[in-house]
């Protein structure tokens, strides 16, 4: 999948969640809550099981550890890695606990939280695919009125980083560490912060030549946007040089 943007307008991000709840897409709504509260990647959020977040006494854990897909890639290269520590927010605790107890008769302790319904009927414990997440996030983002931004499954994580920096003023180096990025520059590009700064700089430079705008106002524009060519002026004919082929030599008979 190509590049996606964060939800720059946070009200539309909330509107999308309202529409999911209205259509009774509870598990889809839970995935949005999990990804936003943990800043996990789509694949890592889909890999979560109920036993990861709820203990044997059926109480929500205060924190959990996860080995991110990026870390698993580094482990293959025999690099020293640590599991990521995820604190559980109050919103996340309540959401998980309510859904677990509401549908406890249909849930097994070691099931994926986002278990596929089609495979569930076959008795298989398989999570949703990332393509399905992309489809429902894109659909409900369009219904919420998102037009300018390119939205996909990864937009939820980018939204966390974007608003943590712009609204909450969390230092960019701290956000970069939470996202497990190699540098601050990577985080700025990833969260769309770099694009906002670039747009602001272009607008600032454009204001220097603001006086030119008067020439393209509706009242100052000519009636026709192009002039007909003058037929009296004939174009000079281009004379192609003649190619003289050499004559064949005739053989004389003696």
Residue 67 pLDDT: 77
Give the Cα separation of 165 and 160 in Å (integer): 9
User: 64 has which bridge partners?
Assistant: 86
Give the Cα separation of 151 and 69 in Å (integer): 22
Give the Cα separation of 17 and 193 in Å (integer): 24
Average pLDDT estimate for 179-206: 89
Q: What share of the chain is helix, strand, coil (3-state, %, to 5)?
A: 50, 5, 45
Residue 225 pLDDT: 65
Give the Cα separation of 5 and 193 in Å (integer): 10
pLDDT tens-digit readout, 114-163: 988 776 666 678 889 999 999 999 999 999 999 888 899 999 999 999 99
Instruction: Determine if residue 84 is left, alpha or beta; phi over 0 gives left, psi from -120 to 50 gives alpha, anything else beta.
Output: beta
Kindly report the average pLDDT of the chain as a whole number: 83
Question: Within a 13 Å sphere around the CA of 168, how many CA atoms are in the beta-carbon half?
Answer: 13
Structural Rg of the chain based on CA atoms: 31
Nearest to 48 by CA among 110, 136, 124: 110
Give all domains of the chain, ordered by start, each with its CATH number: 10-199 (1.10.443.10)
User: 115 has which bridge partners?
Assistant: 127
In our burial notation (b when 16+ CB lie closer than 10 A, e otherwise), range 60-91 reads bbeebebebebbeeeeeeeeeeeebebebeee
pLDDT level of residue 243 (50, 70, 90 thresholds): confident
């Amino acid at each position: 999948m190509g590049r996606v943007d964060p939800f720059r307008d946070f009200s539309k991000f909330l509107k999308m969640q309202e529409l999911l709840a209205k259509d009774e897409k509870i598990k889809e709504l839970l995935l949005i809550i999990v990804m936003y509260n943990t800043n996990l990647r789509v694949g890592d959020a889909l890999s979560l099981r109920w036993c990861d977040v709820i203990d044997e006494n059926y109480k929500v854990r205060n924190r959990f550890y996860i080995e991110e897909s990026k870390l698993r890639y580094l482990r293959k290269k025999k690099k020293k890695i640590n599991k990521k520590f995820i604190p559980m927010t109050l919103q996340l605790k309540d959401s998980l606990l309510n859904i677990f107890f509401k549908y406890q008769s249909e849930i097994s302790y070691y099931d994926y939280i986002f278990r596929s319904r089609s495979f569930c009927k076959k008795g298989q414990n398989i999570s949703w695919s990332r393509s399905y997440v992309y489809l429902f996030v894109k659909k409900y983002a369009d219904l919420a009125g998102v037009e300018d931004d390119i939205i996909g499954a990864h937009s939820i994580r980018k939204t966390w980083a974007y608003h943590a920096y712009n609204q909450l003023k969390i230092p960019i180096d701290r956000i970069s560490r939470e996202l497990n990025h190699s540098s601050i520059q990577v985080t700025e590009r990833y969260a769309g912060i770099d694009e906002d700064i670039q747009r602001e700089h272009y607008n600032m430079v454009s204001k220097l030549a603001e006086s030119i705008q008067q020439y393209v106002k509706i009242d100052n524009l000519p009636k026709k946007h192009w002039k007909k060519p003058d037929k009296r002026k004939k174009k000079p004919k281009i004379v192609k040089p003649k190619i003289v082929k050499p004559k064949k030599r005739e053989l004389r008979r003696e």
